[in-house]
Structure 1
Amino acid sequence: MKQKIYLVALLLLVFSGSGVMAQKTTGGGELKVMTYNVLKGFSGAQSLKDKFVTWISKDVPDIIVYEELSRFNDGMLSDLCKEFGHRYTAFFDTKSGFPVGISSKYPINNIQRIKEDFHHGVMMAKVLDYNIVVLHLSPFSWEKRYDEIGKIVQRLQTLPAGEKTLVMGDFNARSPLDSMVYNANPEVLERAVKAKSKNINNEGKYDYTVIEQMSKAGFIDCLKQLNSAFEYTCPTPLYASASIDGRSRIDYIWASPALKSQLKKCEVSRNWYTDFLSDHYPVLLTLTH
């Protein structure tokens, strides 16, 4: 009788252990992470939320961070994400009208919501052994964005060396690595200067200092690291006025140096769904895990 009890206990231990291993290795040794500015909470339209669920359910990323969750609250984000298998969510109502959020297949721990000195706020959390940072930098001036990203970098530099960190979101800022594309059309720059664009510095040129701070801090621009060609993230065809001249890359996923060997694929997800769900396209990173 005792032998049977021991055998049952051993089998329970083995199967429970295999369940934990299965959770950690979901996706055949890959981890997929996505950032998406969803344009005022999918413009508040249930039809767009339904289309998002239909699309994302085809290949669900492990972790998604969201910007512009307008017209959402904590419960609404949770309910939406459960429809495609994300049991865990974190929501930050930044009181700017543009909340940010995280959803995940795995528990979200150590959640920090930081509003002071940030127009839209910043949320940091831990998923598995990854630090996840979701941000939406100020749209109003490059100087404010420069100040905001400087504070974020300072906070990240307090993390222990070798930490796996992903910084994602709408930076509202252009990268110097894309400058050849932007500078190829001086007429666009001239129009931006006349319109007093928030991406134009005091010298009448595109500002790149916001993004340069991330590079100088040692973070890796995942999309550019894995793609030599210019990949824009907005606008989408949702806007009839969208043109080649107006294309820019302001949505990013940045990885700490500890993740360099795990970077496998990074892409802007363009398809029939994402063409019309938002004015931004989502950026998707695949890591070996």
Structure 2
Amino acid sequence: MTTLRLGTYNLLNGGGDRFYAQAEFLGRQNLDVLCLQEAKRWDEDGHARMRAFADHLGMQALFAPSNSHRCHLVTLFRWPRVCCTSFRPDVAEGQFHHAVSRADLTVSGPEIQVLNTHLSPFSGSSRAREADWLTEYAAPGRRAVLAGELNVQGLADDERPDWDALPRHLHSRHRLQHSDGSYGGSDRLAMAKLVHAKFTDPVTALGIPVAHTAGYWNPTELWDHRSDHIRLAPGLACSLTRYEVLDTDRTRSLSDHLPVIVTLTLPQERRAACTRT
């Protein structure tokens, strides 16, 4: 058996002056695969920031341009322990607000597919449409990981107790709207589609409390909730051994989102020799 540590993290506007502290912190987490969102300006100067970040972590980087606000995606993997056999920067062919990339990786065993995405921040109906592109990866036996900022709570998460604390002009981003135009609870249709398709929630699978990943940074949206997720397709669900949200004063100072990490235990099988991507 072989252990794989996979994380997801939203950098917040490319990291800004927090960039090096983020790289230093994540470099200590012993990650094999890391999915990053909001890699703004990481494409400039020959992808200088991306290369510096990858070099600090001792990893290889795969870049996926975003369709909006330059909130690019970067997937990093630890070569040669992890090998990339193919990479598609946007498997949804421009249909996402941002993008969804797919890296086909081998880790001392069968290939796994890592989907890195950042769902629409502005509309639950948009997120639900984006989820339609993702459900196929939860087919029986499929060895896929869905990671990223999904901008939606898990079905197991607590409901927001007081919507009056959130400005009314932001309700359309987060709340379910009824046919008469009134608003109800949080809009989780996108998540419901993923769960129905059989993407596993590590929190539910391990029977552990929900840990919040966002909602502590922006004074106009102070709402501790889970927005960042790692979900496992049926072929990988039984490999899950650990789930972590790194919630400390330090991580809360580095971004408006917290790092999320899963540990998987995979069967070790013979694989073909791999080459550097």
TM-score bucket of the superposed structures, by smaller chain: 0.7 to 0.9
Instruction: Flag the structure with more relative contact order, 1 or 2, with Cα contacts below 8 A and sequence separation at least 6.
Output: 2
Paired residue type of 1:275: R
Counterpart secondary structure, 1:81: helix
Answer with 1 or 2: which has the greater Rg. 1
Number of residue pairs matched? 247
**Residues 1:118 and 2:88 are matched in the alignment:** no
Correspondence 1:33-48 to 2 at 5 A: 33-42=6-15, 44-45=16-17, 48=18
Correspondence 1:100-179 to 2 at 5 A: 100-105=73-78, 106-114=82-90, 115-128=93-106, 129-154=111-136, 156=137, 161-178=140-157
Correspondence 1:230-269 to 2 at 5 A: 230-236=210-216, 238-239=217-218, 243=222, 246-269=223-246
Offset, 1:274:
1.1
Which of the numbers 172, 177, 187 marks the counterpart of 1:202? 177
**Residues 1:189 and 2:163 are matched in the alignment:** yes
Match of residue 191 from structure 2: 211
Instruction: Give the root-mean-square deviation of aligned CA atoms.
Output: 2.0
Contiguous gaps of at least 5 residues in structure 2: 267-277
CA contact (8 A) 2:98 2:118 kept: yes
Identity of aligned residues (%): 22
Q: Which structure 1 residue ranges, 4+ long, deviate > 6 Å from structure 2?
A: none
CA contact (8 A) 2:134 2:194 kept: no
TM-score (norm 2): 0.82
Counterpart secondary structure, 1:273: helix
Offset, 1:241:
6.7
Contiguous gaps of at least 5 residues in structure 1: 1-24
**Residues 1:92 and 2:64 are matched in the alignment:** yes
TM-score (norm 1): 0.79
| Alpha-carbon distance in 2 for matches of 1:230, 1:68 | 24
Q: 1:50/1:136 Cα in 2 relative to 1: closer, same or farther (>3 Å)?
A: same
Match of residue 5 from structure 1: none
Paired residue type of 2:36: Y
Counterpart secondary structure, 2:53: helix
Q: 1:288/1:192 Cα in 2 relative to 1: closer, same or farther (>3 Å)?
A: same
Counterpart secondary structure, 1:116: coil
Structure with bigger helix share is 1
